[in-house]
Amino acid sequence: MNTFKLKSVWLAVLVSIFASAGAAAVPFTLPEIATYNNSNYMSTSGLMAGAGGPPATVANLGMLNGDTSVSGSILPNEVLWYEFSADGFTYLDINTNGTTMFDTEIGLYDAAGNRISNDDDDGIGLSSTLSFGAGSGLTLGDPFNLGGDGIANGEDGPLAAGTYYLAFGEFNVTFNAAGFDVISTGFDTGGDYVIDIYTDARVATPIPEPAALLLLGLGLVGIGFARRRL
């Protein structure tokens, strides 16, 4: 076989291999992980720590022990998340009245990613307020908000003890019903914010075990004997 024929054979083999690979190829698409609005800002609110799992948070506030305040800065079209737990409370109110530079929106989700409630302008001016349980009784809204008197009286219903995720953004924010699905198409420019949580939740003080009390008593008795010897 001459060189020309050998090259022709190899060329035919290669063509056959590539043709077979093309026929067996399975088309696929990459999942969308970010979108852009008309202002070319990217919305990353749908990015999760895992598939359908809790979102990445700015901070975990832990178990609430009385009133709590957080502050920071937000970028245009950004959604920020805070995690917290609460137990043994009669009221829990969340408010953004300390934020004065832009129109805020907040939404609360349970640990399974289900929306509990959300609000745009129930606070003072363009601020937001959510009020659960009996309500703090604080004036957290304008006179025409929160039931028509501006007072936080639990307008968003009861709230069980548990772990929750608070989503915070600028108008306009869509708080979908499940899956921690929050989408921002905000038109504000970002800036500094303050979020206040008012609650009578308290971290329970551990009760000493009987054995610990017994040891404490024996220690006090020992100290008494030592003093008598002196």
pLDDT tens for the chain, 230 residues: list them.
Answer: 444 444 443 444 443 444 444 444 333 333 333 333 433 344 444 443 334 689 999 999 999 999 999 999 999 999 999 999 999 999 999 999 999 889 999 999 999 999 999 999 999 999 999 999 999 999 999 999 999 999 999 999 999 999 999 999 999 999 999 999 999 997 778 999 999 999 999 987 766 666 655 666 666 656 655 555 55
CATH number of 59-199: 2.60.120.380
Q: What is the pLDDT of residue 11?
A: 44
Alpha helices by DSSP H, listed for the chain, are: 3-24, 210-229
State how far the Cα of 71 lies from the Cα of 122, in Å rounded to an integer. Answer: 20
Q: What is the pLDDT of residue 133?
A: 98
Q: Which of 81, 85, 78 is nearest to 70 (CA)?
A: 81
In this prediction, residue 73 carries a pLDDT of 96
The pTM of this model reads 0.71
Cβ pair 85, 64 in contact under 8 A: yes
d(CA 227, CA 224): 5
